[in-house]
Structure 1
């Protein structure tokens, strides 16, 4: 059973529909006591990093997520949910993240509509390139995924980099260490590749 973390800033409908199509049992909850019963967690996210961390901290979900991953059960962060796994972000001013993975979240230096600079947000299909082997990419060929984001992760730790993409800057697209995983793009909107990635995650549970 997968628990989807509801902290007020997740695209719950999109994720739940994807899990329904995979015929994977799941539930959505904001209660740590209920989420603790899940065999694996998905942390979705849409919006600003700083706002999300305020909600996670005030609700006690941040502390809960730290305790949950210590059990060895898998956790998957999607889009903003992936960024929240890292140490800090400059979005909306400096803010600490969950600190489960090493790195910081920074804004693409391009500016929307400015001549000579690329558009931000990064929106559209970009090809993934596998970097390090992982159970989450098992039997998966490199393909395209659908991105919508203005901020991306910078990390010096190559070991956590499972897959990367490029949008003028190198973009960590799939990350992971032990039982913690993240995807910068929307797997539920990324055609066969996204479906297979979600399937592989459920197989870890």
Structure 2
């Protein structure tokens, strides 16, 4: 069973429907107190970093996700959900994140490609053994919508990279049960569904 955190900034319906399609049980809840009953948690997210982080903490998810990780359980962040895992973001000033993965969230360089990146792009896998990308070929296509990208401090936490606007950026993280993807797996056809399935079966 997957716990999908509803803090008012998530693409909840499409994520939940993706798990339904995969015949994987998932529940959407805005009650952080219920998280402790689940082995796996998914943090979706669309919108601005600062307000999303504020709402996340107001719902009590900040403390709950820390306890979840301390118990050795796994979590998957999607899009803005991935960005919240890092230390801070430069979106509309400096905003503090969850610091589950040390690093910063930065804006794409201006000039050149259109920002935000909206549409399909490929990923380059960074490791031979991957949980999220098991059975998924290198340079597979996924659907992105974002103006900011994650820059983790530790390169070993990067599971995949993508290039856009003249920048090679981290598009997936795998670190001690912490998983995250910048793209939307629920909108990325068969490859995206396999990412969700791999997480659920991990």
TM range (shorter): over 0.9
For 2:86, what is the secondary structure of its paired residue? coil
Question: Does residue 1:119 correspond to 2:110, yes or no?
Answer: no
For 1:102, what is the secondary structure of its paired residue? strand
Gaps of 5+ in 2: none
Question: Does residue 1:144 correspond to 2:163, yes or no?
Answer: no
| Contact 2:143-2:185 at 8 Å conserved across structures | yes
Measure, in 1, the Cα distance between the counterparts of 2:180 and 2:99: 13
For 2:16, what is the secondary structure of its paired residue? helix
Specify the alignment match of 2:108 in structure 1: 108
Measure, in 1, the Cα distance between the counterparts of 2:172 and 2:113: 23
Specify the alignment match of 1:158 in structure 2: 155
Measure, in 2, the Cα distance between the counterparts of 1:120 and 1:155: 21
**Alignment RMSD (CA, Å):** 1.0
For 1:83, what is the secondary structure of its paired residue? helix
CA offsets per residue over residues 42-101 of structure 1, 9 Å max, x none? 000000111111111222211111111111111000000000000000111101100000
Measure, in 2, the Cα distance between the counterparts of 1:135 and 1:48: 29
Corresponding residue pairs, total:
199
Measure, in 2, the Cα distance between the counterparts of 1:198 and 1:187: 7
Specify the alignment match of 1:170 in structure 2: 168
Measure, in 1, the Cα distance between the counterparts of 2:162 and 2:109: 16
Runs of 4+ aligned structure 1 residues displaced above 4 Å come to: none
Shift of 1:155: 2.4
Measure, in 2, the Cα distance between the counterparts of 1:126 and 1:160: 21
Specify the alignment match of 1:31 in structure 2: 31
TM-score (norm 2): 0.95
Specify the alignment match of 2:52 in structure 1: 52
Specify the alignment match of 1:98 in structure 2: 98
Task: Give matches, 1:181-200, under 5 Å.
Answer: 181-200=179-198
Measure, in 1, the Cα distance between the counterparts of 2:177 and 2:151: 21
CA offsets per residue over residues 111-157 of structure 1, 9 Å max, x none? 5xxxxx32100111111110023222122212111100000012231
